[in-house]
Structure 1
Amino acid sequence: MTDRHYRTPVHINNEDDNNPSNPSAGPALSDLIRVRLSRRDALKGLMASAAIGAIGVGINPRGAAAAPKLGFAEIPHAYDENLHVPQGYTAKTLLRWGDPIIAGAPDFDPLKHDAAAQAGQFGYNCDFVHFCPLPEGSGASDHGLLVVNHEYTDAHMIFPGFADGKAALEATTAEMAAYEQAGHGLSVVEVKRDGNGWSAVPDSRLNRRITLATEMELVGPAAGDARLKTAADATGTRVLGTMNNCAGGWTPWGTILTAEENVHQYFGGDPEATPEAANAKRMGIKGEPSYAWGKFADRFDISKEPNEPNRFGWIVEVDPYDPASMPKKHTALGRFKHEAATTVINGDNRLVVYTGDDERFEYVYKYVSSGTFDPAAGRANSTLLDDGTLYVAKLDADGNVTWLPLTFGEGPLTEAKGFKNQADVLIEARRAGDLLEATKMDRPEDIEASDKTGKVYVVLTKNDKRKAEQVDAANAREKNIWGHIVEMVPPMKDGRADHAADRFTWNAFIQAGNPKDPEAKAIYGGEVSDAGWFANPDNIAFDASGRLWISTDGFPDHGVHDGLWVTETEGEGRAVTRHFLGCPRGAELCGPAFTPDGKTLFVAVQHPGDEDGSNFQNPSTRWPDFKDGMPPRPSVVAITKDDGGEIGA
């Protein structure tokens, strides 16, 4: 997810995070950590700093653990116009905004902004990345499809002549709006590696652009509900496009799951004058959009199409191997500002999907299918995503997690509370979580489960709205501007982690920030170097060896670039992070993804140069082209080790 409060405050993807829309009285995670540590402090008579160090099971006091055994020279913190990787590694720009990927698409011209051309070119701000081997079902690591999300567009960085995003918004034309819409969605691109490194296959029959003009099917319990019907779709089962696609995931049957996140920012009009007023407010839709699309299309004006926003905010399934296939929006996984969709095949063969709601004081969810995964069924397994139970997490002060079902008719989710059926519960999943008093988290972003241990890692980027009355000696951060990572531990069943269980345990894995800053009260597993500390974790990924890679979004607030850090999750190197990659200025790092052999790491560099005072004509960096007249271009980068070995080893 993009956190842009330190840059030009227009087209702010999570602007409503500064005014959170969660009114519930459920406990905040900060309250639970404080209570838990306060109890330990009272019982053990420890000093506050020692209590903080003891927060997590397996977290060692600072200085007690050695650095992880990683085979690269850590790079320093910096803030400049370049991308940095360790000595012995090569970073090659593979796909740039505007590169033609569909046969017949024109070459990129920064002064010509034709929507039809952009619909055949690599889209704008790249986020989630996944490598799909070719042929399908193989373990190939030198040939495959890259699936890349395009989260949003920055008009003042795309179009010349605007000082900032506000000026571009006010001057948006129909042609500009069409170009922006074509820059959203996903790209599917065939890529190959040979003696010269990685390259794209621009005319591959498998290449595809998915945009806001791509027809999609609504499936699951809410499909066909009256609240999903519009003038353009009387069935409530068809919708054009997907937008604000942030992190994602993949399925065991070979498809991709992409998460629709900050969809609130695209809808103008007056939500208060519609039947969906309360629902719109809970999703942060205020009629003050960051895009002017509603001036040119009724569906982006909530006054004219009050149900259209209900058709966004879902998990979308895309088949990367079939460019003619229709994507599906799976309503059983709930509607909110999704980040990530991580799948696990449980020990009983049920499918489990973890996903977060990326806003301050929002919730962590998981979905458990009713049916079981059948490897022989192929794409037919997709129906597992339509029949199951969505749960929301409640973390208590004793270190337990209770997964509460969002099921119509159970507990407060009844007609008396305004829910007529399960479709209402799913469309208003946030309000359902409020009523269940789920734990309000500090911006839940990516969630990943370790194949090695079964433990689940929940990334919480930050929450700078924590109030003074929530602070005590055991949690001395009035505003969590640094973020942290929570580790959830499923119980064991028949020798395997039971992800379908309704009770887990939890502990704090890392509390980010500078250990030398007393205000931060950072927690790592041991000593980290001056470059090893980080802040604002966002996307994470496990490599084949079980190491956890952590990308950041918002680190420039602390004076250094966003980038990539790596740590072990077990043993003496647990929670001791080392710095591997640094972004160009103004950029965040997204989508770390590995090839099956672990010898290539793909990363997405999103919104390079997007910071205060930077625009198309005067960018703070011209990465990656560094040519006069060429703006910075969001890009996917392929990183390899010069000796051909495993990344990080």
Structure 2
Amino acid sequence: MTATRPENRPLLSLTPVSPEGYRHGSRSLLTCLYKCGNACDHPEPNQTATGHVQDEISKAIARRSVLRGAAAGTGALMLGGVAAASAASPAAAAPGTLAAAAVKGGPLARTKFRSVAPNRRDAVVLPDGFDHNVVISWGDPVVEGAPAWSPYDLTLDAVKKTFGYNNDYVSVVPLSGDAALMTVNHEYDDQTLMYPTGAYTEEQMAWFGIYSHGLSVVQIKRGLVPGSWYREKNLAKATKNRRINADTTFRATGPAAGHPLLQTAADPSGTAIKGTLNNCSGGTTPWGTVLSGEENFNQYFNTEGTVPTGVTLDDGSTLTNAYTRYGIAKSGSDPRKWHKYDDRFDLEAEAHEVHRFGWIVEIDPMKPEQAPRKHTMLGRFKHEGACAVISGDKRAVVYMGDDERGDYLYKFVSADKYDERASAAARRHNKTLLTKGTLFVAKVTGNDVGTPTAPYDGTGEWLPLTSDTQSFVPGMTVAEVLVFTRQAADLVGPTKMDRPEDVEVNKVNGKVYAALTNNSNRGSTFPADEANPVTSCGTRTSPGAPLVTQSGNRNGYVLEITPGSDNHARRTFTWDLFLVCGDPDSPETYFAGYDKSKVSRISCPDNVTFDAAGNLWIATDGAPTPLGQNDGLFRVPTAGAERGHVQCFLTVPKGAETCGPLMYDGDKSLFFAPQHPGEISGAVFESPLSTWPNTHDFPRPSVCVAYQAR
């Protein structure tokens, strides 16, 4: 069918809460609607009364001077890095120095640059001396035989075989020579920006949306300019390319696989799950597979009638908040309405299908014939991503965040040990590591008694929830803890955090860094504590506007965790707030003790990565941020005299979120993925507010790579 272009298109019937039509002082109405199902407008899923740091303030320990010294940047507690491709950790670095890997940092780690100024441009903006190119965009062919793609004349076959909508996590693993395999998540669709008005029926848009989700595995090749990469256009050569979508069967692993809670009419085995939804960030394992987190899966499940009130557990009792704790509820404003066309998404027709989402999935990009897996042992919640490292005792450890206001940080430790041999047998063994082990949730305690002041720090403990053989939560079985991980965690008293998103390990200093994006209700429904101290903050409506104060934590933090040795399997840790983000002119901000007059404004940290020098790279997601500027990617040293020196390396186009930061090829290539460009309140397909990357008269989410200009 051929679409027409009407002159006018009715706007969404949503009420803006700011002059520009942004929700909660930052995000656009469109992003709130399609990305997370207006999560902030619904009751907070975590209604438990415990879980704040001040609940344990009397237990604070007294070794403050040592912790303060570390927080100030002396590096005295820095540890040996954990090699991503090796089980062994290098020797610990001397106090105040970086590990030996630091000297190997390539140009993106070492080169000085002038910070990019805050802006609202519809472009990728880089410092002088750097360039970038687009690697792949929404609608580009992925598999051989992909039909021609156009949003004006879409077919389901084209949607299934081309690059999906939006692009969050990016993983790259080498093939041979100048080739590599890139795996990319497709987080969500946006009907307002994807389709011309009146071109398709509600049912057609539903099916297009279902198949626009998932992942793409794409072969890429080096360009002529060092650091550049492009997609392999000869798809006959790209034999490992594939689109993972709603037709793909995932195999459930771990203790909850096959449990009645995962069984459906279509799959009575409870082990064969079709598709993956709302894949946000992820991680690349030391054994070369890709992990992907299913995040805001709750929004796709709906009903025309009454949401089931509870689930019967193995002991015959009823878990009445089985749905509400995950934000699953009847929603008359749901724009997708998948439940009308596929019973899987109708809670009345199939109450257990929703339990088959919210997992960490694992894909082997080298084995396109092999079914990807959903690992129940890693728990079910709104996974931002998963960072896998090898502990000092050779076990696999996976750090994870649950992206919701007031939810928790998690860690998984494998039962079996990593096999570091370079053999097919070792790789097969390592691919089983995430099926058995122990799942933990974090409890943090502040060191300040009374009103805390920066620098903020304390101690912490990983509380066990379940192993593959024994539940540590009274009244819940192993499988129930894994299916209802949020409820299980509530019962052991972890710490409510401000939207824990990406959690990554710095391989140079061995520390763990967690992006805590924001919480506009911190200080009201969420009392402040030392790990979540901000109850009001400075905001701007545009880069040049005056600074004004708003309630809550709207700009976020970066939490720095020190495991205490090179063994990430340890149960205890120390922590500090490495960054209290925001405008340096605002008094609540803190940049690891660095001179605030010399740092870039930064808001809403989301995804993080590291270069070989141990610098932290932070991608932001506020679009536009509470500072009135486009999102960006920021470089921050984690040690030495420059510790905490936040510099903006690039900004993304209007309405876009910065995703997928990845250093590759000796820090010569920096992959990043602007998704949902132009997702600004009032934008429609016919009247876009962005046309980036300027290949068409509508915006296209794309994966890019940055490098030094020749």
**TM-score bracket relative to the smaller structure:** 0.7 to 0.9
- Select 1:620's aligned residue among 674, 689, 692: 689
Paired with 1:97 and 1:450, the residues of 2 have a C-alpha distance of 32
Q: How does 1:337-348 map to 2 (within 5 A)?
A: 337-348=382-393
Structure 1 position 407 matched with structure 2 position 466: yes
Paired with 1:174 and 1:256, the residues of 2 have a C-alpha distance of 32
Paired with 2:249 and 2:35, the residues of 1 have a C-alpha distance of 27
Corresponding residue SS for 1:282: helix
Structure 1 position 540 matched with structure 2 position 608: yes
- For structure 1, list consecutive stretches of 5 or more residues without a partner in the other structure: 45-52, 163-167, 644-649
Corresponding residue SS for 1:247: strand
Q: 1:614 to 1:251 in 2, by over 3 A?
A: same
**Is contact 1:32–1:397 with CA below 8 Å preserved after alignment?**
no
Structure 1 position 104 matched with structure 2 position 177: no
Q: How does 1:59-138 map to 2 (within 5 A)?
A: 70-135=111-176
**Is contact 2:186–2:278 with CA below 8 Å preserved after alignment?**
yes
Deviation at 1:555, TM superposition (A): 5.2
Corresponding residue SS for 1:192: strand
**Is contact 1:131–1:594 with CA below 8 Å preserved after alignment?**
no
**Is contact 1:512–1:524 with CA below 8 Å preserved after alignment?**
no
Corresponding residue SS for 2:595: coil
For 1:389, give the aligned amino acid: T
Q: 1:273 to 1:479 in 2, by over 3 A?
A: closer
Paired with 1:215 and 1:403, the residues of 2 have a C-alpha distance of 34
**Is contact 2:591–2:645 with CA below 8 Å preserved after alignment?**
no
Q: How does 1:38-57 map to 2 (within 5 A)?
A: 57=71
Q: 1:277 to 1:109 in 2, by over 3 A?
A: farther
Deviation at 1:524, TM superposition (A): 4.2
**Is contact 2:217–2:365 with CA below 8 Å preserved after alignment?**
yes
For 2:339, give the aligned amino acid: G
Structure 1 position 632 matched with structure 2 position 699: yes
| 1:354-375 deviations in Å (ceiling 9; x for gaps) | 0000010000000000100113
Structure 1 position 278 matched with structure 2 position 329: no
Paired with 1:56 and 1:481, the residues of 2 have a C-alpha distance of 27
Structure 1 position 552 matched with structure 2 position 620: yes
**Is contact 1:332–1:388 with CA below 8 Å preserved after alignment?**
yes
Deviation at 1:86, TM superposition (A): 1.1
Q: How does 1:237-276 map to 2 (within 5 A)?
A: 237-269=271-303, 270-273=306-309, 275=311
**Is contact 2:116–2:127 with CA below 8 Å preserved after alignment?**
yes
- Select 2:518's aligned residue among 462, 470, 489: 462
Paired with 2:572 and 2:417, the residues of 1 have a C-alpha distance of 21
Other-structure match for 1:647: none
- Select 1:321's aligned residue among 339, 347, 366: 366
Deviation at 1:424, TM superposition (A): 0.2
For 1:513, give the aligned amino acid: G
- What RMSD in Å do the two structures reach over aligned CA positions? 2.8
Corresponding residue SS for 2:135: strand
Paired with 1:580 and 1:12, the residues of 2 have a C-alpha distance of 26
Structure 1 position 201 matched with structure 2 position 243: no
Structure 1 position 357 matched with structure 2 position 402: yes
Q: 1:33 to 1:625 in 2, by over 3 A?
A: farther
For 1:82, give the aligned amino acid: A
- Select 2:484's aligned residue among 419, 424, 428: 428
Other-structure match for 2:648: 579
For 1:631, give the aligned amino acid: F
- For structure 2, list consecutive stretches of 5 or more residues without a partner in the other structure: 1-22, 75-95, 97-108, 312-318, 448-457, 537-550
Paired with 1:403 and 1:559, the residues of 2 have a C-alpha distance of 37
| 1:499-534 deviations in Å (ceiling 9; x for gaps) | 00110111110000012123x444443124577120
Paired with 1:371 and 1:188, the residues of 2 have a C-alpha distance of 29
Other-structure match for 2:34: 11
| 1:179-214 deviations in Å (ceiling 9; x for gaps) | 111110001100001326422113011111001221
For 1:401, give the aligned amino acid: G
Other-structure match for 1:570: 639
| 1:614-644 deviations in Å (ceiling 9; x for gaps) | 11111111000254xx31000001111124x
With structure 2 as the length reference, what TM-score do the two structures score? 0.80
Corresponding residue SS for 1:396: strand
Corresponding residue SS for 2:466: coil
Paired with 1:534 and 1:323, the residues of 2 have a C-alpha distance of 39
**Is contact 2:301–2:347 with CA below 8 Å preserved after alignment?**
yes
Q: 1:488 to 1:622 in 2, by over 3 A?
A: same
**Is contact 2:583–2:627 with CA below 8 Å preserved after alignment?**
no
Corresponding residue SS for 1:87: coil
For 1:187, give the aligned amino acid: S
**Is contact 2:523–2:535 with CA below 8 Å preserved after alignment?**
no
Deviation at 1:173, TM superposition (A): 2.1
**Is contact 1:17–1:359 with CA below 8 Å preserved after alignment?**
no
Q: 1:184 to 1:353 in 2, by over 3 A?
A: same
Corresponding residue SS for 1:85: coil
Decide which moves more: 76-85 or 276-285.
Answer: 276-285
Q: How does 1:358-377 map to 2 (within 5 A)?
A: 358-376=403-421, 377=426
Paired with 1:595 and 1:252, the residues of 2 have a C-alpha distance of 15
Percent identity between the two aligned chains = 40
Structure 1 position 181 matched with structure 2 position 203: no
Deviation at 1:108, TM superposition (A): 2.8
| 1:102-133 deviations in Å (ceiling 9; x for gaps) | 11112331212222101111111100001111
Deviation at 1:471, TM superposition (A): 5.3
Paired with 2:61 and 2:690, the residues of 1 have a C-alpha distance of 47
Paired with 1:457 and 1:476, the residues of 2 have a C-alpha distance of 22
Deviation at 1:55, TM superposition (A): 10
Paired with 1:84 and 1:615, the residues of 2 have a C-alpha distance of 24
**Is contact 1:394–1:402 with CA below 8 Å preserved after alignment?**
yes
Paired with 1:175 and 1:531, the residues of 2 have a C-alpha distance of 48
**Is contact 1:265–1:290 with CA below 8 Å preserved after alignment?**
no
Other-structure match for 2:219: 190
Paired with 2:464 and 2:709, the residues of 1 have a C-alpha distance of 49
Superposition misfits of 4+ residues, deviation over 4 angstroms: 31-40, 53-56, 408-412, 471-476, 528-531
Structure 1 position 146 matched with structure 2 position 214: no
**Is contact 2:214–2:278 with CA below 8 Å preserved after alignment?**
yes
- Select 2:441's aligned residue among 372, 392, 398: 392
Structure 1 position 24 matched with structure 2 position 48: yes
Other-structure match for 2:339: 294
Count of residue pairs brought into register by the alignment: 602
